[in-house]
Amino acid sequence: MSKEFKTKKSFLGVLMKTENQLMNELREIGIKNIHAVHYNCSSAALVEGAVRRGEGSLSHLGPLVVRTGQHTGRSPNDKFIVREPSSEKNIWWGKVNREISPEKFDRIYAKMMAYIQNKEICVQDMYAGHDVNYRLPIRIITETSWHSLFARNLFVQIEDPEELKNHKSEFTVIQMPGFHADPETDGTNSNVFVIINFGAKIVLIGGTSYAGEIKKSIFSVMNYLLPLKKVMSMHCSANVGKKDDVAVFFGLSGTGKTTLSADPNRKLIGDDEHGWSDEGVFNFEGGCYAKVINLSKEAEPDIYETTRKFGTVLENVAMDEKTRRLDLNDASLTENTRAAYPITHIPNIIEEGKAGHPENIVMLTADAFGVLPPISKLTSEQAMYHFLSGYTAKVAGTEKGVTEPKATFSTCFGAPFMALHPSVYANLLGERIENHKAKCWLVNTGWSGGPYGVGKRMKIQYTRAMLNAALNGELDNVETFEDPFFGLNIPKEVNGVPSEVLNPRDTWEDKNNYDEMAKKLASMFRENFKEF
């Protein structure tokens, strides 16, 4: 570690905050007796610190490659919300939002504060949200440089030194991967924990190095705060066309939100988390967190280039230690390899992170049963049905014990991050669809010609052609036919797409097998929707 990196004052930059001011703010939340604070470090300083500390390695052309160890994805069973007076009446308690008592939170918090003593910590003061009316001032405190770099990439940076000096955090995330809970005494499910306390305005993360927990904890906070202000919070990507037409893309992981929104003919607003206020859509984030397994330079050139840029953090991506070249097809550590990069690494973006009201709402699914049409027009009622259903499918090999396609219904296309009852988000979306006359579409990026293992994944060029036609208005008046199993309206023709691809039944050799599979999935939809 360089002498400069050890020095406290070198990380106070141009003294946006005085050392006393910063230390007092940390003491107010119980952090004291620390060895050093690295405050709002630049990306270069954080990369340097991560390498010198042995947290990661530089790959060809400069991205930082890191390993997250045992945990290569989120730990949904280890997420808790403190049941406390200010929020308990609003929370949608249950399997998703598990409760933990204030007493147990206090016990873990005290132990974490003791753990931090005599350590070096990194602090980033930033915003969640690009809209000045609804952005959330946040502080991210980590024990590693690379997690601080991740936060710097993913959230909205503060460029003005005076603004940074006066920054007052409204929510603080304290992430200490080296600190583990004791389930027997702390009341957690394992030694991993993600605990949100809306009363104290603090998130505690421990026992896991997977950086996505930082990102998604703040998303959960925004999903709680914004709907109470009548702002729709959405697990979606968004972009803008040449006519300033906005499109949003709802979808779960693996359905194509990031890939399809990174369109060379449309400017990217953001790839994952947005709000929809009375003024329009705004990105919660300042960067992207893209899955990069099997990433193709030909199919996804913009995202591919981010894996070759300095400042990008690559989680669990395979690298040749001698040549420092990446192997994006290597899933030996995990299928969930990730790249975290500032949105400015993408060339075609809306730099201010906000735009007008959506003209098109696209709901993405990756149907591994191979029976949903590749594109269909939705009525507003159907859009609400599919929004509440939040369907996609897991395939064999991605999860232990899954040997055939497994239907996954995640309400609002993001149940793990929705703190309020689904009806709150659904009502807000319904109002906005009605008020702004948005056109709605269901797009299946999954399998065609048979289920997973028999059929093939829909060609991305076909999906892009269908999306372009929908967003450009080419499908507004095209003739459609109704699917008999799901009641969806399927266009009879789309430029650049073979007609037989549009009707999923036509792609199956055995039509009876298709009918049986379609009936099976339709019954799963009905069973799931009984909850609503």
Our answer to whether residue 235 is catalytic in this structure is yes
Contacts of 180 (CB under 8 A, 6+ apart): 191, 192, 206, 207
Q: Is residue 528 packed enough to be buried (19+ CB in 10 Å), middle (13-18) or exposed (0-12)?
A: middle
Question: Which residue among the candidates 135, 139, 215, 216 is catalytic per the annotation?
Answer: 216
Our answer to whether residue 338 is catalytic in this structure is yes
Question: Which residue among the candidates 38, 74, 215, 439 is catalytic per the annotation?
Answer: 74
What is each CA distance from 62 to 51, 59, 272, 328, 511, in whole angstroms? 11, 5, 25, 16, 52
Question: Which residue among the candidates 258, 259, 261, 392 is catalytic per the annotation?
Answer: 258
Integer Cα distance of 500 and 456 in angstroms: 14
CA-atom Rg of the chain in angstroms: 23
Question: Which residue among the candidates 83, 130, 215, 235 is catalytic per the annotation?
Answer: 235
Question: Which residue among the candidates 59, 72, 253, 392 is catalytic per the annotation?
Answer: 253
Question: Which residue among the candidates 83, 152, 338, 386 is catalytic per the annotation?
Answer: 338
Integer Cα distance of 249 and 267 in angstroms: 14
DSSP H or E stretch at residue 248? strand 246-250
Phi, psi torsion values for 461, nearest 5 degrees: -65, -30
Question: Which residue among the candidates 272, 302, 367, 483 is catalytic per the annotation?
Answer: 272
The amino acid that residue 238 corresponds to is A
Our answer to whether residue 421 is catalytic in this structure is no
Considering only the C-alpha atoms of the chain, give the largest distance between any 2 of them, rounded to a whole number of Å: 74
Our answer to whether residue 68 is catalytic in this structure is no
Our answer to whether residue 411 is catalytic in this structure is no
Tell me the three-class secondary structure of 257-309, residue by residue.
HHHHHCCCCCEEEECCEEEECCCCEEECCCEEEEECCCCCCCCCHHHHHHCCC
6-32 as b/e: b if 16+ CB within 10 A: eebebbbeeebbeeeebbebbeebebe
Integer Cα distance of 165 and 146 in angstroms: 24
User: Position of tokens 């730990």?
Assistant: 75
Integer Cα distance of 392 and 405 in angstroms: 10
Our answer to whether residue 216 is catalytic in this structure is yes
Residue 337 · residue 317 · CB < 8 Å: yes
**Could you give the 3-state DSSP secondary structure of residue 360?**
strand
Our answer to whether residue 145 is catalytic in this structure is no
Our answer to whether residue 208 is catalytic in this structure is no
Dihedral sign for Cα atoms in the order 148, 154, 159, 164 = negative
Positions annotated as catalytic residues are: 74, 216, 235, 253, 257-258, 272, 338
